[in-house]
């Protein structure tokens, strides 16, 4: 009986995401343009947050570099937008971020967690200032124009990036590589002693997560038409995934997705209603979430469910 | 040539004095209180803006503002630790967990403080002119306000160093920096000491901001850049070492002035390259253990 239950649970767990995907994919046929644009933004945040969690979730190393990788993608799109087709640009944007992450990771990931946080935090500022200097002094421009792409096409590509990301995440989780990553998060020294090549596992995962951020950046650049270094390397994009993942809860796969979806919608709502107070509210929610919901929304709901079932047990 | 070297050197020290002060503040907060305060730059910004307002609206001398800004920002820092970070410290399972969650809470603070400042003062770049007359010195001319800035930064650093080495509270702070749990067992009220440390860190940032506002332009989003600089300096000086951060600050100021002389606009990039080399060669810093 137990086996039957497991099988039915498995198949429903497999079919539910497919159904949602098919629904989402058929949405552009009937939904208004605004919904498509909003959904694209939501999926952009989901992609960045989930790829952030891919590395920082199991290892516990807090990366503050998403904005750097995203920005690299944006600039790839700006430089190659007129020359290459969109899928190639997305791929190259991802690869550029992948290479940057390999380099940064190899430099810093053998060090203690704090150094890593500081380094990634500075990386965004470094790239911002460097590109700004380069544009002003070498190319003599401040901004660049990116060729626009039809909204529905952007939405489909974002959905494809998301599906590939989830597939990569599942594959890593189920593999020996994923187990090694878990082990590093639990006790890095012990993992190293049992024969895990700690640095290599960390660097590669970091680079894979950067690939998706770069790809998302390359795609989103086509939505903005005009970019400059301050738009491309917006430090806010480094903090958003951290907040979204923590708000949703990092213990479960769907936690960051829920967190990102809620926050992306909240952002849209707050920006249109309270443009001047939006960041203030954002900061306040962040502090409250960290103090009162250390395990995120998913953890909070689980705790509530647990206490309610315990209460029922107590009554019977 | 020698004159030019001297010129660059002194300009570097003038910049380095502020870096040193800011970095000592962050060392207190991170090295002792274990809060990696990403909002450090925001306290600098508040100090700068309070000074600006006092000068523009009430005509209060910016040097006098040091005495007003200091205690005000110290109180903010102290209360923040007593309410927010103390709570996080108690609820965290391990010191590493506290480091992570307190840093993330600082991000929240960063947004709150920065946007409150934008609401109050607007997002424009501001500045005022104070003691901007030239002083002749070794055949060179310097702006008086920059020399005063350096003088005050060095004096504040020295006073604080003597306070740490000689006073009872200073010894308690150093004990807490070495081992918070052992210090508590020795009868030190650790909550109080850590809150004071965080307060002192904010105080340094506030004073740094006041001094900065005398010779540089200010704006509500300026904090992040100084936070990055302070982070680089505390790694350069060795995490947790107060004399180290002071020396590191002066050194980084020199580097900044040399790079600005060669290629203006690239100073932050140079700091970062230095940081990368340091992490590769000697991650423990100049005075680290």
Query: For A79-100, what is each residue's pLDDT tens digit?
Result: 888 788 888 989 999 999 999 9
Residue A301 exposed, middle or buried by CB count within 10 Å (0-12, 13-18, 19+): middle
Q: Which helix (H) or strand (E) holds B135?
A: strand B134-137
What pTM was computed for the model?
0.83
DSSP label at A148?
-
CB spacing of A122 vs B231 below 8 angstroms: yes
Pairing of strands A226-227, A144-145: antiparallel
Residues of chain B below pLDDT 70: 1-3, 132, 137-140, 288-289
Domain-located, residue B127: yes
Q: Which helix (H) or strand (E) holds A134?
A: helix A113-134
Residue of A nearest to B85 (CA): A291
How close A228 gets to chain B, by Cα (Å)?
A: 16
A235 CB neighbours in chain B (<8 A) are 224
Domain-located, residue B288: no
Per-residue H/E/C for A137-194: HHHCCCCEECCCCCHHHHHHHHHHHHHHHHHHHHHHHHCHHHHHHHHHHHCHHHHHHC
Phi-psi region of B238 (alpha: psi -120 to 50; beta: other; left: phi over 0): left
Q: Is the pLDDT of residue A51 over 50?
A: yes
Q: Is the pLDDT of residue A1 over 50?
A: no
B91 CB neighbours in chain A (<8 A) are 294
What CA–CA distances, in Å, run from B118 to A128, A269, B49? 22, 21, 11
Q: Rounded distance, CA B190 to CA B280, Å?
A: 35
Q: Is the pLDDT of residue A295 over 80?
A: no
Residue of A nearest to B276 (CA): A107
- Scan for tokens 């990055």, then name that residue: B228
Q: Tell me the β-bridge partners of B198.
A: none
Mean pLDDT of A116-131: 85
How close A107 gets to chain B, by Cα (Å)?
A: 7
Question: Would you list which residues of chain A are within 8 Å, Cβ to Cβ, of chain B?
Answer: 60, 62, 107-108, 111, 113-115, 117-119, 121-123, 125-126, 129-130, 132-133, 136-137, 235, 239, 242-243, 246, 276-277, 279-280, 282-287, 290-291, 294
Give the nearest partner residue to B36 out of A117, A119, A287, using CB atoms. A117
Question: CB–CB of A149/A222 below 8 Å?
Answer: yes
Q: Does B111 contact chain A (CB < 8 Å)?
A: yes
Q: Rounded distance, CA A300 to CA A306, Å?
A: 10
What CA–CA distances, in Å, run from B250 to B24, B40, B237? 11, 19, 10
Spatial CA neighbour of A121 closest among B274, B231, B109: B231
Query: For B190-234, what is each residue's pLDDT tens digit?
Result: 888 999 999 999 999 999 999 888 888 899 988 888 998 998 898
Task: Return the SS3 of B17.
Answer: helix
- Higher pLDDT among residues A218 and A18, named by residue: A218
Residue A150 tokens read as 């039809």
Domain-located, residue A8: no
Query: For B257-269, what is each residue's pLDDT tens digit?
Result: 898 888 877 888 8
Q: Is the pLDDT of residue A2 over 60?
A: no
Q: Tell me the β-bridge partners of B136.
A: B141
Q: Rounded distance, CA B123 to CA B108, Å?
A: 19
**Domain, as residue range, for A145:** 35-315
pLDDT at A7: 46
Greatest Cα-to-Cα distance within chain A, rounded to the nearest angstrom:
76
List the 42-81 stretch of B: residues with Cβ below 8 A of A: none
Question: CB–CB of B210/B47 below 8 Å?
Answer: yes
Residue A117 tokens read as 């946080």
Q: Which helix (H) or strand (E) holds A66?
A: helix A66-80
Report how far apart the first and last C-alpha atoms of chain B are (Å, whole number): 38
DSSP label at B245?
H
Q: How many CB atoms lie within 10 A of CB B47?
A: 29
Q: Rounded distance, CA B102 to CA B112, Å?
A: 15
Residue A259 tokens read as 């967190």
- Quote ipTM for the complex: 0.80
Measured in whole angstroms, the distance separating CA B150 from the mean position of its chain's CA atoms is 14
Domain-located, residue B289: no
Domain-located, residue A118: yes
Q: Is the pLDDT of residue A147 over 90?
A: no
Task: Return the SS3 of A150.
Answer: coil
Domain-located, residue B98: yes
- Higher pLDDT among residues B86 and A30, named by residue: B86
Instruction: Give the confidence band of A312 by pLDDT, cuts at 50, 70, 90.
Output: low
Q: What are phi and psi of B100, to 5 degrees?
A: -65, -50
Angle at A84 between CA A79 and CA A86, to 5 degrees: 95
- Higher pLDDT among residues A115 and B45, named by residue: B45
Residue B138 exposed, middle or buried by CB count within 10 Å (0-12, 13-18, 19+): exposed
Domain-located, residue A12: no
Instruction: Give the confidence band of A285 by pLDDT, cuts at 50, 70, 90.
Output: confident
Q: Packing angle between helix A151-174 and helix A2-26, nearest 10 degrees?
A: 160
Number of domains in chain B: 1
Phi-psi region of B28 (alpha: psi -120 to 50; beta: other; left: phi over 0): alpha
Residue B50 tokens read as 């309070």
Domain-located, residue B287: no
Domain-located, residue B228: yes
Q: Is the pLDDT of residue A316 over 60?
A: no
* Separate counts of helices (H) and strands (E) for chain B: 12, 2
Number of domains in chain A: 1
List the 200-259 stretch of B: residues with Cβ below 8 A of A: 224-225, 228, 231-232, 235, 239
CB spacing of A126 vs B269 below 8 angstroms: yes
The per-residue pLDDT of chain A, averaged, comes to 84
Domain-located, residue A1: no
**Domain, as residue range, for B188:** 2-281
- Scan for tokens 């629904």, then name that residue: A23
Mean pLDDT of A32-47: 89
pLDDT at A49: 93
Question: CB–CB of B205/B245 below 8 Å?
Answer: no
> Pseudo-torsion of CA A194, A200, A202, A208, nearest 10°?
-140
Domain-located, residue B122: yes
Q: Which helix (H) or strand (E) holds B136?
A: strand B134-137
Report how far apart the first and last C-alpha atoms of chain A are (Å, whole number): 26
A290 CB neighbours in chain B (<8 A) are 88, 101, 104-105, 108
The total number of residues shown for chain A amounts to 316
Residue of B nearest to A123 (CA): B272
Question: CB–CB of B153/B23 below 8 Å?
Answer: no
- Scan for tokens 């395990």, then name that residue: A295
Query: For B38-53, what is each residue's pLDDT tens digit?
Result: 899 999 999 999 999 9
Spatial CA neighbour of A242 closest among A7, A21, A37, A50: A50
Question: CB–CB of A121/A197 below 8 Å?
Answer: no
DSSP B1-12: -HHHHHHHHHHH
Instruction: Give the confidence band of A3 by pLDDT, cuts at 50, 70, 90.
Output: very low
Q: Name the CA radius of gyration of chain B, rounded.
A: 19
How close B257 gets to chain A, by Cα (Å)?
A: 17
Residue of B nearest to A132 (CA): B265
Q: In CATH, what number is assigned to the domain containing residue B123? A: 1.10.3470
CB spacing of A239 vs B84 below 8 angstroms: no
Measured in whole angstroms, the distance separating CA A316 from the mean position of its chain's CA atoms is 44
Mean pLDDT of A115-132: 84
CB spacing of B111 vs A283 below 8 angstroms: yes
CB spacing of B110 vs A279 below 8 angstroms: no
């Amino acid at each position: 009986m137990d086996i039957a239950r497991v099988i039915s649970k498995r198949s429903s767990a497999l079919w539910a995401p497919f159904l949602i995907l098919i629904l989402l994919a058929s949405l552009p046929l009937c939904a208004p343009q605004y919904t498509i644009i909003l959904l694209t933004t939501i999926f952009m945040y989901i992609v960045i947050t989930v790829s952030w969690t891919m590395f920082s979730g199991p290892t516990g190393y807090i990366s503050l570099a998403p904005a750097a990788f995203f920005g690299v993608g944006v600039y790839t799109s700006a430089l190659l937008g007129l020359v290459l087709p969109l899928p190639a640009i997305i791929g190259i944007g991802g690869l550029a971020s992948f290479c940057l992450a390999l380099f940064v990771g190899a430099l810093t990931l053998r060090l203690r967690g704090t150094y890593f946080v500081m380094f990634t935090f500075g990386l965004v500022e470094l790239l911002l200032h460097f590109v700004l200097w380069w544009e002003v002094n070498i190319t003599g421009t401040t901004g660049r124009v990116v060729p626009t792409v039809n909204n529905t096409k952007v939405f489909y590509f974002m959905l494809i990036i998301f599906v590939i990301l989830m597939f990569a995440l599942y594959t890593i989780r189920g593999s020996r590589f994923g187990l090694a990553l878990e082990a590093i998060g639990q006790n890095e020294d012990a993992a190293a002693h049992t024969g895990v090549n700690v640095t290599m596992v960390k660097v590669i995962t970091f680079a894979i997560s950067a690939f998706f951020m770069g790809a998302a950046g390359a795609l989103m650049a086509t939505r903005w038409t005009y970019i400059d270094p301050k738009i491309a390397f917006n430090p806010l994009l480094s903090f958003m995934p951290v907040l979204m993942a923590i708000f949703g809860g990092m213990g479960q796969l769907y936690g960051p997705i829920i967190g990102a979806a809620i926050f992306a919608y909240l952002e849209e709502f707050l920006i249109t209603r309270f443009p001047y107070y939006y960041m203030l509210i954002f900061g306040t929610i962040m502090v409250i979430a960290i103090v009162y919901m250390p395990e995120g929304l998913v953890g909070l709901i689980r705790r509530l469910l647990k206490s309610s079932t315990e209460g029922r047990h107590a009554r019977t | 040539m020698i004159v030019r070297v001297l010129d660059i050197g002194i300009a570097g020290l003038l910049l380095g004095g502020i870096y040193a002060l800011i970095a000592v503040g962050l060392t207190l907060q991170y090295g002792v209180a274990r809060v990696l305060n990403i909002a450090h730059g925001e306290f600098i910004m508040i100090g700068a803006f309070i000074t600006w307002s006092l000068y523009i609206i009430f005509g209060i001398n910016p040097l006098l503002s040091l005495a007003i800004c200091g205690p005000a920002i110290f109180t903010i820092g102290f209360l923040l630790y007593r309410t927010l970070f103390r709570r996080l410290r108690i609820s965290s399972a391990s010191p590493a967990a506290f480091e992570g969650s307190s840093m993330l809470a600082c991000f929240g603070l960063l947004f709150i403080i920065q946007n409150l400042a934008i609401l109050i003062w607007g997002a424009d770049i501001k500045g005022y002119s104070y003691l901007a007359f030239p002083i002749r010195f070794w055949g060179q001319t310097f702006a008086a306000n920059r020399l005063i800035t350096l003088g005050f930064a060095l004096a504040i650093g020295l006073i604080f160093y003597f306070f740490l080495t000689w006073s009872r509270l200073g010894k308690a702070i150093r004990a807490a920096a070495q081992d918070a749990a052992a210090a508590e067992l020795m009868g030190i009220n650790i909550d109080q000491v850590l809150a004071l440390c965080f307060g002192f860190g904010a105080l340094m940032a506030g004073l740094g901001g006041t001094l900065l506002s005398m010779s540089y332009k200010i704006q509500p989003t300026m904090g992040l850049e100084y936070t990055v600089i302070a982070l680089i300096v505390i790694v350069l000086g060795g995490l947790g070492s107060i004399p180290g951060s002071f020396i590191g600050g002066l050194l980084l100021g020199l580097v900044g002035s040399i790079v600005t002389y060669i290629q203006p606009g690239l100073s932050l990039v140079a700091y970062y390259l230095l940081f990368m080399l340091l992490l590769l060669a000697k991650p423990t810093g100049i005075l680290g253990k």
